[in-house]
Amino acid sequence: MMPSILKCLVVHDLCTYSKSSLTVVIPVLEALKIEACPIATAVLSTQTDGFMGVYKHSLKTETNRILEVLESEEIKFDGFYSGFILDVDIMNQVEKFLVKNAENNIFTVIDPVLGDHGSYYPGFNDSQRDKMKDLIRHADLITPNFTEALLLTQKNEKEVEKVGLTEVLYGLRKLSPFSDIVITSIPSNQETCKLAFLTKENQEGFYTHKRERISLPGSGDFFCSVMVGLMLRKKDFISAVREASLFTGKAIKMTIEAGFEEKHGICPSLVLSDLSQTEVSN
């Protein structure tokens, strides 16, 4: 029996070359039998990691108009998933959409894209961070990487070494009171990667998996997209964390073995067949 069709509105950027954001999100969700309905917040020539010149163009007027038309057409979505939003005006538009649809039982996922490797991405600053705090209040799931978790809770790595990750998790809980939380890309050691999670019921835990020799752009988008697809299909949060971690590691490994350059990013097509075989509920 085929699973029922679920629709997820995805608000993210679109890169022409290199795999990240929508070029990762759409195939992953579709492989998990979720209809991805994209709104591009910006168009970019490439993702921003490893390229000397990146062209970016915000689509804030188009984003606002599309959201208005979707509302006027009374199109209903089962899921909402936002990622790269550089423009604060678009963040404001997204929050208005979430407030208007608060009673429609939409599974809401905010991947608070802000930075990595200890600093903001180019073009991001405290203004986007502060607005992101408003957005994650509406979330059922948030998936910051380690850098983004520190930016949102306004802590630094030295503080975390003293107080531990639990304080960061509960700092995020104060900002996002109704969400499941998973922090990715936590510094561990040369052999392993570490995730920390906190459930809605405040059950905390950690998950460790093998580290590949390089980190690929788009890996966070891949991880979050698998989480979104699995949880929309009623997979429990902790199981989704484990499966998303395993699939992400496999995709990174296969991308490296296929010979893609690092700045090309993760290649989801190499694991879509396996993803499509994942057991999901109707």
Q: Please say if the pLDDT value at position 272 is more than 70.
A: yes
pTM, two decimals, is 0.94
Amino acid at 256: I
pLDDT per residue over 18-70, tens digit each? 999 999 999 999 999 999 999 999 999 998 888 888 999 999 999 999 999 99
Average pLDDT over residues 157-162: 79
Contacts of 205 (CB under 8 A, 6+ apart): 196, 197, 238
Sequence ranges of the domains in the chain: 7-276
Residue 115, token pair as written in the block: 């930075």
CA distances from 157 to 132, 153, 167, 186, 204 (A): 21, 12, 12, 10, 20
Higher per-residue confidence, 50 vs 197: 197
pLDDT surpasses 90 at 72: yes
pLDDT-wise least confident of 53-57, 192-196, 221-225, 253-257: 192-196
Write the CB contacts of 222 (distance below 8 Å, at least 6 apart in sequence): 24, 28, 247, 248, 251, 266, 268
C-alpha–C-alpha distance, residues 137 and 117, integer Å: 25
Distance CA 169, CA 10 (A): 25
Q: What is the pLDDT of residues 236-248, one digit of tens each?
A: 999 999 999 999 9
H-run or E-run covering 99: helix 88-100
**Whole-angstrom distance between the N-terminal and C-terminal Cα of the chain?**
9
Q: How confident is the model at residue 282 (pLDDT cuts 50, 70, 90)?
A: low
CATH number for the segment(s) 7-276: 3.40.1190.20
User: Which residues fall within 8 angstroms of residue 158, CB to CB, at 6 or more apart?
Assistant: none
Residue 3's pLDDT is: 60
Taking the C-alpha atoms of residue 178 and residue 276, their distance in angstroms, rounded to an integer, is 30
Phi, psi for residue 217 in degrees, rounded to 5:
-55, 145
Pick the closest to residue 107 from 241, 229, 12, 281 (CA basis): 229
Among 75, 17, 14, 4, which Cα is nearest to 50's?
A: 17
CA 223 – CA 218 distance, rounded (Å): 9
Per cent of the chain over pLDDT 70 is: 98
Average pLDDT of the chain, as a whole number: 92
The whole-number average pLDDT for the span 132-151 is 97
